[in-house]
A and B are shown apart, each in its own frame.
Chain A
Amino acid sequence: MVYVTSQRKDIVRNEGFRTVIIMKIDFSGLESTAPLCGASSEMFDGFSTSPSFQIPDTTDFDDFQKEAIQMVKPAKGTTTLAFIFKEGVMVAADSRASMGGYISSQSVKKIIEINPYMLGTMAGGAADCQFWHRNLGIKCRLHELANKRRISVTGASKLLANILYSYRGMGLSVGTMIAGWDEKGPGLYYVDSEGGRLKGTKFSVGSGSPYAYGVLDSGYRYDMTIEEAAELARRSIYHATFRDGASGGVASGMLCFIMWDQPDGRSYLVMTLGNFTICTIQLNQPLSSRRCPKLEFLCYSI
């Protein structure tokens, strides 16, 4: 039986055993006193028309704004670049780690040493890059022991690309460049977590890469000296950090290591300290020996 409170009740009694109550439902409380349309005009104090809300044209009142809010998620908030030139391969990166909008660190090492003659850059998930680069280093070493000679950059990048392809679709985020020296000279490959692998002479990866490409492309020549190449790399990263929010950014924080080891024994270690100083250290022994007894400093302040 349904009971509805009402002011009027008509009770009808059936013959038989059941009593049926018929109620007249009173809707007077539901009538709206406000007009259905008409926004309040600000010229007349806002009081002359009854208050009313502008209702949006949608059926889902609670969630329609969430769809409007969804913007493209920025991927790989960083700037890294690498290019091949006459003297070797130059690798540079910024040093900011961001989690969405929050800066978690201003002094992150984004250039990872895979082994003494190969470097990898970190863009995307930091854990993913660090783990898989170290894993790649292990595989390169095993290859060296099994075949009695160093793995080529081509081979190393192929190893990494195959591993990442097998994890495709599982959420790894890796946008890395493998740079190094082998018997054929300097080598540079771009490898990413979608399984792509590209050979090239100039790459920039990350959210700041469009800005870095602008400076890099206009200043690049194949026959540059080491100092010129270091200066070009520093300037590209600097302009990317200026425009990109996810590349940092703070004068005290930017630190980039650029180093390569040439088979004939010459080695250079180039560092930028802050945003404006490049320091090139010429080493008298190959970097792979991990001992540098004599250092000659060439410091440039700009």
Chain B
Amino acid sequence: MSIFEYNGSALVAMVGKNCFAIASDRRLGVQLQTVATDFQRIFKIHDKLFVGLSGLATDAQTLYQRLVFRHKLYQLREERDMKPETFASLVSAILYEKRFGPYFCQPVIAGLGDEDKPFICTMDSIGAKELAKDFVVAGTASESLYGACESMFKPDMEPEELFETISQALLSSVDRDCLSGWGGHVYVV
């Protein structure tokens, strides 16, 4: 088992019609042992920007605290919220700073940009951005999630339908993974 599979996680974000949804599982484990069934992996940066952090739980929490700190500084200087594209570049830079001793974390960023245009992206643990127009996945169940999302996704879904789709994709994928599960948190904006 690798360090990315130490705690176990499943994250997915999807794009709908002027909305986005981001979902994660709730299990926190130490290898195979389940330690908690209500662990939070998705954090709010501001009303229209959410970041989910999969991988090692300690790095996820530390990285979240760093990102919130940087965003608050930005808010004080610019007197406005960060755009999702800008935030993604910020996360990428912070991750690459630790190129030779990285955070063992794969972030999933989802937000609404100008005119409520949805934006999602994911990156690997050293900051390689992967932008997508439909969905992004991360975590130990990522291969199952790719398959489930690929078959269930339709473009331009309304929020209710998007919620149903992302929930079903998440639940069916974590059923095939020992290290994630125990329900899910879904945020639809």
Contact = CB atoms under 8 A, between A and B. Distances in A.
A42 B70 contact: yes
A246 B179 CA distance: 8
Interface residues of B, number: 29
Given A207-B32, A244-B33, A245-B32, A71 B178 contact: no
Contacts of A293: none
Nearest to A105: B176
Contact of A73 (B1, B97, B99, B101): B1
A102 B5 CA distance: 11
A243 B33 contact: yes
B111 interface: no
Nearest to B143: A102
- A-side interface mostly: loop
A74 interface: yes
Nearest to A208: B32
- B-side interface mostly: loop
A73 B100 CA distance: 25
A42 B63 CA distance: 13
A74 B32 contact: yes
Contacts of B100: 53-56, 61
Given A98-B178, A103-B175, A56 B5 contact: no
B98 to A, nearest CB: 8
A71 B176 contact: no
Interface in A44-83: 46, 53-56, 61, 68-69, 71-74, 77
Contacts of A101: 1, 5, 8, 140, 177-179
Interface string A77-99: 10000000000000000001010
Given A40-B97, A243-B33, A71 B177 contact: no
Interface of A: 40, 42, 46, 53-56, 61, 68-69, 71-74, 77, 96, 98, 100-103, 106, 207, 242-246, 249-250
7 contacts: A53-B97, A61-B100, A73-B1, A101-B178, A102-B176, A103-B177, A250-B175
